[in-house]
Amino acid sequence: MVTVVDYGIGNLRSLEKALIHVGSPVLRTDLAEDIAAADLLILPGVGAFGACIQAIRQHNLEQPIRDAAQRGVPFLGVCVGMQMLFETGLERGTFPGLGLLPGRVVPFELADRRLKIPHMGWNLITPRYDSALLKGLSDDARCYFVHSFHPTSIREADILATTNYGYDFPSIVARANVFGVQFHPEKSHRVGLRILSNFVALRADS
């Protein structure tokens, strides 16, 4: 069972259906006790960083989420859910994130005016090392991105994969049990489904 934190932002239907598609039941919840009992945890997020983190705080879920990450539960942040793993978000203001990983989230600054913002569409992910999360993916694996911000000033060791859009940015981050993906695995066809199924398999391995 994957526990998906549902703090009232965005539509989690596709994510839930994709997880079911790869064979995992889903519990969508905004309850601290469910998060405390989770053995696989996904933190989704769409829209603005500040709106997401504030909604998490309004639901009193910041500490439960942090506790879950720290007790070693396989944890996956998706899109803004990944961005919130970091210390600070600079979207429409300055907002403290969950601070599970050092770094901040900044807008794309593209010198090449032909590159549109948001970064939208299918782009390559280039892994830096072998990870169970990326098992079975080919070198030309592409994922579906929609975002205007990305993490920066993060620890090199926390970068699992990068993607190039004007420059290389961290598109998958990982430290121990905590993972984050900037793209939408639930919209990334076979590649995304494989990543979700690899994530679900982390529980059996641990």
Partner 1 sequence: MSLAKRIIPCLDVDQGRVVKGVNFVDLVDAGDPLEQAFHYNDEGADELVFLDITATHDNRGIMRDVVRQTADQVFIPLTVGGGLRTLEDIRQMLHAGADKVSLNSAAIRNPELITQGAEEFGSQCMVVAIDVKRISSGRWEVYTHGGRRPVGIDGLAWAAEAQERGAGELLVTSMDRDGTRYGYDLELLATLDTLVGIPVIASGGAGSLDHLRDAFVIGRAHAVLAASIFHFRTYSIEEAKAFLQSCGITVRVS
Interacting span for partner 1 (CB under 8 A) from 16-24, 53-61, 86-94, 198-206:
16-24
Catalytic residue at 186? yes
CB of 80 to partner 1, least distance (A): 10
| DSSP-derived 3-state class of residue 102 | coil
Q: Is 178 exposed, middle or buried (0-12, 13-18, 19+ CB in 10 A)?
A: buried
Catalytic residue at 79? yes
Of residues 63-92, those binding partner 1 (CB under 8 A): none
The residue from 49, 165, 169, 179 that contacts partner 1 (CB under 8 A) is 165
CB of 172 to partner 1, least distance (A): 15
The residue from 163, 177, 182, 197 that contacts partner 1 (CB under 8 A) is 163
The answer to whether 123 contacts partner 1 (rule: CB under 8 A) is: yes
Q: How many C-beta atoms surround the C-beta of residue 160 within 10 A?
A: 22
One-character DSSP codes across 137-196: --TT-EEEEEESEEEES--GGGEEEEEEESEEEEEEEEETTEEEESS-GGGSHHHHHHHH
Residues in Cβ contact with 130 at an 8 Å cutoff, skipping those fewer than 6 apart: none
Catalytic residue at 33? no
Compose the 179-198 pattern: x for residues touching partner 1 by CB under 8 A, - for all others.
Answer: -------xxxxxxxx-----
Taking the C-alpha atoms of residue 178 and residue 75, their distance in angstroms, rounded to an integer, is 5
Yes or no: say if 193 and 21 are a contact pair by the CB < 8 Å rule: yes
The residue from 2, 4, 5, 18 that contacts partner 1 (CB under 8 A) is 18
Residues binding partner 1 (CB under 8 A): 11, 13-14, 17-18, 21, 46-47, 113-114, 116-124, 140, 142, 144, 146, 163-165, 186-193
Active-site annotation, residues: 79, 184, 186
